[in-house]
Amino acid sequence: MSVLVIADHDLGTLSPATARVVHAASQLGPIDLLVLGQDAANVATEAAKLAGVAKVLVAQGPGTSDADSQVIEKLAAGYLYVIQSAGSAGRDRMPGVAAKLDLMPVTDVVEILGPNRFVRPIYAGNALQTVTDNQPRHVLTLRASAFRAAPAGPAAPIEVLDSALDSVVKLLRSDRTQSDTADLATAQIVIGGGVALGSAENYQLLESLAKKLGAAVGATRAAVDAGYAPNDWQIGQTGKIIAPDLYIAIGISGALQHLAGIQGAKKIVAINTDAEAPLVKLADLALIGDLFEIIPQLTAELDRLGVSR
Ligand SMILES: Cc1cc2nc3c(=O)[nH]c(=O)nc-3n(C[C@H](O)[C@H](O)[C@H](O)COP(=O)(O)OP(=O)(O)OC[C@H]3O[C@@H](n4cnc5c(N)ncnc54)[C@H](O)[C@@H]3O)c2cc1C
């Protein structure tokens, strides 16, 4: 009885979140890493190289949530822990898996204190709760950004499961957001923009700065609601939770719902015209001034210094 981790992957590439979940879960026991869905075979070789992985299990299938859940539920009986990152797939799938196994899931874990003690945020991240989970088995989702990534290890064996998967769900089409900046959930530097940017075009100011720094771009809900930024850029209580080394908040007031998404940021820089804005007061460093003057100057200075990732 050990640990079953469900891999996150997309377009034939393993998500960086999986390496972080593997590293965190390795303190609970040897890990079998399950790769589900389309492109599963391609991802398995990459997954096998993570330290802590004892075996990679591959279940090639239609990649629909009901088919994937069937595989997890069948396999779960053999494991003490079933774990996935708290990304969109894990959030969607794991409560259902837990219900089928008659277990209560422990979600959004940010620290593992022992075999059945886990820390998770509550009240929109304003408090941390330590949960003692006395159930016989544990279904967890982990906030990947709270953990370090597993290093490379010796290649683990890969086992292809004989899974004739039925699905009542038929995938007709998927629409993708194209982005050439880093992934928001796992980026080490994130640049967030607020409604003060004033238009979708002006977000290009942030994107060109982000490309130089190897950063991801995010936004406030006010900016998303105004149509300036796509929905999947939203950071906060009802958006993505981030924990970068550096968060640069540009034209963002710092409403509680936004702060709920950035509490894991190690350093915060705020750029704002208002010295009294809550995010300015919270920041490690604040530049008080007009973003439309400061950002071009910053970008030009990075150009002059030859900074480019
Ligand atoms: C149930 C609920 C859930 C929510 N969930 C989220 C969430 O997940 N994420 C989220 O972000 N919000 C969320 N919100 C919305 C939240 O309450 C705020 O309204 C929002 O975060 C404000 O966004 P903002 O900072 O862009 O805008 P504002 O609060 O309007 O702030 C704009 C800032 O830009 C500064 N500024 C203006 N012009 C310039 C300039 N030229 N240069 C520099 N600075 C300038 C201003 O001084 C101000 O500080 C939620 C709200 C509710 C009710």
CA distance 14 to 8: 6
Distance CA 133, CA 107 (A): 12
Residue 13 in any domain: the answer is yes
Q: What is the atom index within ligand 1 of the atom nearest the CA of 271?
A: 43
Q: Measured in angstroms, how far is the CA atom of residue 222 from the centroid of ligand 1? A: 5
Co-location of 142 and 94 in the same domain: yes
Nearest residue (CA) to ligand 1, atom 28: 253
In a domain, 166, yes or no: no
Cβ within 8 Å of residue 301, ≥6 positions away: none
Question: Is residue 35 included in any domain, yes or no?
Answer: yes
Say whether both 253 and 115 belong to one domain: no
Separation of 254 CA from ligand 1 center, angstroms? 6
Instruction: Tell me, yes or no, whether 193 and 252 share the same domain.
Output: yes
**CATH value at residue 284:** 3.40.50.1220
Residue whose token pair is 């105004």: 226
From residue 30, alpha-carbon distances to 5, 170, 200 in Å are 10, 35, 47
Is there a contact between 230 and 244 (Cβ–Cβ < 8 Å)? no
Q: Does 66 share its domain with 120?
A: yes
Cα 84 from chain centre: 11
Tell me whether residue 274 is in a domain.
Answer: yes
Which is the closest atom of ligand 1 to the Cα of 219?
11
Q: What is the DSSP string of 78-124?
A: TEEEEEEESSHHHHHHHHHHHHHTT---EEEE-EEEETTEEEEEETT
Is residue 11 helix, strand or coil? coil
Residue 89 domain-assigned (yes or no): yes
Q: Which of 160, 175, 206 is the last residue of a domain?
A: 160
Q: At which residue do the structure tokens 């060109």 appear?
A: 208
Does residue 82 fall inside a structural domain? Answer: yes
Give the span between the Cα atoms of 250 and 209, in whole angstroms. Answer: 12
Give yes or no: residues 137 and 193 share one domain: no
Domain boundaries, position 287: 189-305
**Do 216 and 274 belong together in one domain?**
yes
Residue 209 is assigned to a structural domain of this protein: yes
In the DSSP assignment, the letter for residue 232 is G
CA of 220 from ligand 1 middle (Å) equals 6
Q: Which residue has the tokens 């100011």?
A: 205
Tell me if 198 sits within 8 A of 228, measured CB to CB: yes
pLDDT score recorded for residue 41: 80
Residue ranges around ligand 1 (CB below 6 Å): 194-196, 220-223, 234-239, 251-253, 255, 257-258, 261, 271-274, 277, 290-292
Q: Tens of pLDDT along the chain (309 residues)?
A: 699 999 999 888 899 899 999 999 999 999 999 999 887 888 999 999 999 999 999 998 777 888 888 899 999 999 999 999 998 899 999 999 999 999 999 999 999 999 999 999 988 778 899 999 999 999 999 998 889 999 999 999 999 987 666 677 787 887 777 777 788 877 889 999 999 999 999 999 999 999 999 999 999 999 999 999 999 999 998 898 888 999 999 999 999 999 999 988 999 999 999 999 999 999 999 999 999 999 999 999 999 988 777
Pair (31, 146) in one structural domain: yes
Rounded to a whole number of angstroms, the CA Rg of the chain reads: 21
Would you say 38 and 62 are in contact if contact means Cβ atoms under 8 Å apart?
yes
Same domain, residue pair 267 and 118: no
- The CA 102 to ligand 1 mean position distance, Å, reads 40
Please give the Cα distance from 56 to 157 (Å, whole number).
6
Distance 172 CA to ligand 1 centre (A): 36
Same domain, 85 and 194: no
Are residues 71 and 145 part of one domain? yes
Helix ranges (H only) for the chain are 16-25, 40-47, 65-76, 88-100, 203-213, 221-225, 256-259, 278-282, 291-305
- Ligand 1 atom closest to the Cα of residue 223 is 26
| Paired tokens of 34 | 């399950």
Atom of ligand 1 nearest to the CA of 235: 9
175 part of a folded domain:
no
Is the same domain home to 8 and 154?
yes
What is the amino acid identity at position 48?
A
Instruction: Walk across the sheet containing 117-122 and list its strands.
Output: 111-114, 117-122, 127-132
Q: How many domains does the chain have?
A: 2
Which residue reads 């981790």 in tokens? 5
Specify the pLDDT at position 164: 63
For position 46, which CATH number holds?
Answer: 3.40.50.620
DSSP summary character for residue 47: H
Task: Based on the fold, state whether residues 281 and 223 are members of the same structural domain.
Answer: yes
3-state class percentages of the chain: helix first, strand second, coil last, to nearest 5: 30, 30, 40
Residue appearing with tokens 């704002």: 272
Terminal-residue alpha carbon distance, the chain: 43
What is the sign of the dihedral through the CA atoms of 241, 187, 97 and 26?
negative
